[in-house]
Structures are given as C-alpha cells and as structure tokens.
Structure 1
C-alpha cells in the first residue's frame, strides 16, 4: 500500500538524481517534497517530473516577502498544480491572508482544488539560544504556538513545526489543523544541523498528520528498505 503520510524530501540538485529516486520510491510513496535546492537548480522541470509519476508535491519554498509579492508567488504555486506549499508565518497575518486569497482566486479560475497552505513556524535548526539572539524572547514552543495561532487566524490549513511542539499545538488549536513535521529522524541516524527532532513513531503519536524525511531515506543504500524500517 502506498504511504501517504511520509513525505520524502527530494533534496538533490539534478533531474537525473531526482528521477532515480522517483523510480525507486514512487511505488511506495505518494507525496514528495521539492525544496529550494532542487527547484533553484532545475526549476519547474523538477515539478513536471514528479507529476509524470502521478504523485503529489509539497512545494517547500517558504515564501517570505511583502504581501503583494507573496500573492503573486502563491498564484504561481497554484498553476504548478502542487498539493501543498508553504509561507513563513513570521511574514505576518497580512502576508498569509494574501497567500490564501491568491490561491483561492487562481484555483477557482483554473477549476481545480486549492492547494493546502502551511505556515512555517520555527525552523528545526533553531533552538532557544538562537531565538534569543534573533531578538525573540520566547522559548521555541511559545514562539511556535504564537505563529501557529497566527497562521490559523489568517486562514492557513496548518503549519510546519518540529515534533517537540506538536502536543502544544494540538492542545491549543485542536485537530482540525494540519501539522507537517520535519526534524524526524529514525533512532541511530545522524541529525545533521537539526536540533529539535524526534523519531517517526513519536511524531505520529504526538499528533502529526505528515512527517518529512529526506536523507535517512534518499541517502540509504536501499531507500525502500529504509522507508519500510521507518514506518
């Protein structure tokens, strides 16, 4: 059965490598994440390639700009036909509202379902000390919850948040709000530059709707075996 809860991050920089991973993983995975590395290296062709496999796309470009610019970028994301995309919640309520407005307008114009829009809260590479240095006098959990509430009020469908904050989000915002959790690492794997992490099972038990995993699967000698070990 195809897994539609584990989003595999295609963190590569060539179409050849992307295609290799899609050949291996597409029989088992429904959603693939295209981030900055792949998109800025290969452009829209990276999206077109995933669609050839009839798979869904999480476009992870983290829009963060003035509302009018994000409005235009969000329309473009809709035209790409992605399943979900994200914006930085720290860009503010007005910016997020414009993203929703643009997505709704463009989706209606094209006669398609609107992509899910997620607010990026606090990157998993940031800890309490890093937040303070950036002028935020809140713990990561407090800031994530603050931005999650802002995202909800702005009309977003959910947030991107580390596994450490999932319980707090569910307690304060409820079930009717998507949580996509990066910073997920199987036991024994390297955490790299991520600081707020958890194992896949823990993330789901805490209430994640989706988890995002890249290197532990894509860099494995046997990606399918790695995927099945994780789930």
Structure 2
C-alpha cells in the first residue's frame, strides 16, 4: 500500500468530489466515508478508481459476524485498497470480515487491506469511561483493541497519532497505523480531540495519515496537499 497522505473526501455529493479531484494531475490516495457513500453509492468508487486513485473506503462496519462477512465480500469486488471495521465488534467479527474480503477478491488481485477502528479520534478518555463504561485509560483501551485486531489477522488499526508509537511496540512496525485528526500547525481541531501535524505523525510512527479540511477547504487544495506531503516526509 502506498503511503501518500490520504485525502478525506468529505463532500456531500459526486459533483463536488469530481470538481475537487479535477484540480489534481497526479494519482492520489483518497478516503470515501459514510456520508458520500450513502449519497453516491458504489458508482463513486468506480469513477474514482477509473481516474487512477487509491481508495480507503471508511464505512466502519460493526454488526454480527455473518453480516459483516457478507458486506465485505461485496465491498471487495469494488477494488478498493483499504477498508475498516470497529474493533469493538470483537475478534470473531473481525476474522469474519477478513474472510469475506478474501472470498470477494478476484483471483489474481490483491485483497483490500483491513484495519480496525480502536477509539475514534473525537473521543476523550472521560467520554469513553463515562459513556462506554470502559474502566481503562484511553491508551490501554486502544492498545487492547490493536492487539485484538492483530490476533484476528487484520493488517492494522485506525488510531490517533498519540497512540501510534505504543501500537508499533506491541504489534510491530509493519502493522498499519492509519491516523486521522491531522492538522497543519495552528489549524483548527474542529470536532477532533486528539490531533497532530503531519511531521509529528511521521516521527511517532504513523504509517498513513488522513487529512481532510486542511486540504479540501484550503484556498489552493493542490498547494495544501503538497505542503502536507512535504511535512509527511516527501514520501511518494
């Protein structure tokens, strides 16, 4: 999987997505989330892939194992590069998701990488303890979910930059640490609680970063993307 910055296409419809992508003359790694997928469906995936871009389909599946397996079998046929589930669904669900991806991937094609959401980067420790009734620190909860995902055979997790180094220590350097909540220095955190800059993410061991409004709402998105890419390490 390439390690270009992943651009979160948090737009409400296909027209806005295509207008945004038309500004670039290079292959990108983009994230299609729940809002866009529900509005535009599988067609938006096919159109973006036809333009040569890699896709992280961010649907965060969380259901009974058989349902998730069937859903992943269908998503694999779209040819996306990265998909995810909620680790809170448990090891059986995560293993079923992986099985579905393997079954749905065409022979000779590489299956999508599968990662699990540990704790959302919008979640604080206080919220986790009071609302989820998890009697651990936030770091402990994230590490527990990361180890559970690895034991289920997954390729990595979604986590904040602040937990990436600890996850590398227990799950290995090659275990994917996909980190949203990326902001440029001085940028607004918006609804994210655990945020970081691209260069700090690199230093802390993130393997992929997800950047949204810092690029999509910039006055010049192409310049903003290249600024992020340079801070991320100029990695191609």
Same fold (TM over 0.5): yes
Which residue among 71, 76, 79 is the counterpart of 1:78? 76
Residue 108 of structure 2 is matched in structure 1 by: 111
| Structure 2 counterpart SS, 1:186 | coil
Write the deviation string for residues 107-149 of structure 1: whole angstroms up to 9, x where unpaired.
2x54321110001110000011001112011111111100000
The question of whether the paired residues in 2 share the 8 Å contact of 1:4 and 1:29 is answered with no
Aligned residues: 227
Question: 1:30 offset after TM fit, Å?
Answer: 2.3
Q: 2:161 aligns with which of 160, 163, 170?
A: 163
3-state SS of paired residue (1:34): strand
Contact 1:8–1:29 at 8 Å: present in 2 too?
no
Q: TM-score scaled to structure 1, two decimals?
A: 0.95
| 4+ long deviations beyond 4 Å | none
- Give the match for residue 53 of structure 2: 55
- How far off is 1:169 after superposition? 0.4
Q: Confirm or deny: 8 A CA contact 1:148 1:169 kept in the other structure.
A: yes
CA distance in 2, matches of 1:62, 1:188: 29
Is contact 2:72-2:97 (8 Å) kept?
yes
CA–CA distance in 1 between the matches of 2:139 and 2:128? 11
Q: Which runs of 5+ in 2 are unaligned?
A: 230-236
Aligned-partner Cα distance in 1 for 2:14–2:221: 18
Please, what is the CA RMSD of the aligned residues?
1.2
- In the superposition, the TM-score normalised over structure 2's length comes to 0.93
CA distance in 1, matches of 2:112, 2:218: 31
2: CA distance, partners of 1:230 / 1:9 = 13
Q: C-alpha distance in 2, partners of 1:83/1:122? A: 22
Q: Please list, as runs of the form range in 1=range in 2, the aligned pairs for 1:212-223 lying within 5 A after superposition.
A: 212-223=210-221
Rounded to whole Å, the distance in 1 between the matches of 2:74 and 2:21 is 24
* Equivalence for 2:11: 12
Structure 2: how far apart are the matches of 1:169 and 1:177?
8
Q: CA shift at 1:29, angstroms?
A: 4.7
Distance 2:182 2:108 in 1: 35
Q: Is the 8 A contact 1:7 1:32 kept in 2?
A: yes
Partner SS, residue 136 of structure 1? coil
Structure 1 runs not aligned, ≥5 long? none
Counting only pairs closer than 5 Å after superposition, residues 133-212 of structure 1 correspond to structure 2 as 133=130, 134-212=132-210
Q: 2: CA distance between counterparts of 1:7 and 1:21?
A: 14
Look up the match of 1:46: 44
Alpha-carbon separation, structure 2, partners of 1:106 and 1:69 = 14
Once structures 1 and 2 are overlaid, which stretch shifts more, 27-36 or 149-158?
27-36
Question: In 2, Cα distance between the equivalents of 1:24 and 1:49?
Answer: 16
